[in-house]
Structures are given as C-alpha cells and as structure tokens.
Amino acid sequence: MKTPDPTEFRHALSRFTTGVTVLTAAEADGTVAGMTANSFTSVSLAPPTILVSVMQGRTLKAIEAAGMFVVNVLGAGAERISGHFAGKPVPGWTPDFAAFGNYVGLDGALANFACRVQRRVEVNDHVLLIAEVEHCHACEADPLVFYGSRYRRLAA
Ligand SMILES: Cc1cc2nc3c(=O)[nH]c(=O)nc-3n(C[C@H](O)[C@H](O)[C@H](O)COP(=O)(O)OP(=O)(O)OC[C@H]3O[C@@H](n4cnc5c(N)ncnc54)[C@H](O)[C@@H]3O)c2cc1C
C-alpha cells in the first residue's frame, strides 16, 4: 500500500458527506471575517465542545485575536453563501450579520454555535480549534449538504 497522492486523498475524502458551515469572528476594527468550513465536528457534550480545522488566513487571524467565533450551519439553498465565504464573492451581495450577545454570526442560519476557544493545535498548514459552546440556536429546516465535491439537498 502506498501513501495516497493529494488527488486520491481529496477524492476519498469527498465520499464523506458533511453539512456546510460559515465561521464568523469580529475583527479589531469591528468588521466581520467569515469563511466556509465543513471540518466542524462535536467533541464532547459536557462541557459542550466542538472542533474545527482552519487554514491560515484572515478568518483564523480574527478568531485567534478575539478568542471567540460563531459556527453558522447553512440551510438548503445557501450554495451561493457558501461560495461567497470560500473565495467566490457574490457581486453586490452583502451578508446579514447578527449579534448573539458578544458574538457575531450569520442571520438566518440553520443553527448557530457561539464558541470560546479552549485549545489550538497546529497541524501542517491548519490549526485545530477546540472550543466550548457558550450559546446555541437551531431552526427546523433542511440543511445544505456537501458530497462528492458538490452541493446537494436531502431527498424528499
Ligand atoms: C464546502 C467547503 C468546505 C470548506 N471547509 C474548509 C475547512 O473546514 N477548513 C478550511 O480551512 N477551509 C475550508 N474551506 C476553504 C475556505 O472556505 C476558503 O479557503 C476561504 O477562502 C478561507 O477564508 P479566509 O478567511 O482565510 O480568507 P478569505 O478568502 O480572505 O475570506 C473568505 C471569503 O469570505 C468573504 N468575506 C469574508 N468576510 C466578509 C464580510 N464581512 N463581508 C463580505 N464578504 C466577506 C471574502 O470576500 C472572501 O471571498 C472550505 C471550502 C468549501 C467550499
């Protein structure tokens, strides 16, 4: 058996179905940084703890400076929002951000998790952020699904 090359690895990973989130964090000047992430997973229930794997970039800088961020779970139909926060900006579109106490998240998300960073672990070009959830909020609606490198919807 040989070590997979990056294409094989990505292809095999793409067989794992996930939801899609946007991570948001306030920057020092009050603007909000956001990025699409599907590496979100639960870690423990008590205390409520989650993990995300985040590449070096604007949003990671904002999260690390603030020590806090929001995981916003996208609903069905939010493909363009996901693309927007993954480096394919939607011309003329401005995101609706909402305050959750001291946190800032995306308005209208399927769920929001307001998280305080507990631990960071550097792994290659990513940082694993392990964070405690201080507040969460959820709606009843269908999710945006990511499988096979494409956005999908749940079958009826
Ligand atoms: C389905 C999917 C899952 C992904 N999962 C992960 C993952 O788990 N981990 C990971 O590291 N990467 C992941 N990525 C890649 C990641 O989303 C991109 O590399 C992203 O561009 C990194 O964001 P950044 O903040 O570092 O940089 P930037 O590219 O600077 O910011 C992201 C984008 O968001 C827009 N934006 C940010 N803030 C605002 C604002 N206030 N108003 C308007 N627009 C704004 C910017 O215009 C920019 O296009 C994923 C991408 C996709 C499509």
Shortest-distance atom of ligand 1 to CA 88: 49
CATH entry 1.10.340.30 includes domain 6-152: no
Shortest-distance atom of ligand 1 to CA 35: 23
Question: How do residues 103-131 score in pLDDT, each as one tens digit?
Answer: 999 999 999 999 999 999 999 999 999 99
Give the whole-angstrom CA distance, residue 149 versus residue 106.
24
CB 102 within 8 A of CB 69: no
If one residue of 85, 122, 144, 149 were mutated to test the ligand 1 pocket, choosing by the most ligand atoms within 8 A of its CB, it would be: 85
* pTM of the model as a whole: 0.96
Question: How do residues 12-68 score in pLDDT, each as one tens digit?
Answer: 999 999 999 999 999 999 999 999 999 999 999 999 999 999 999 999 999 999 999
Show me where the domains of the chain are located.
Answer: 6-152
Return the pLDDT at 34.
98
Ligand 1 pocket, 36 CB below 6 A? yes
Measured CA distances, 3 to 6, 7, 8, 9 (Å): 9, 12, 10, 9
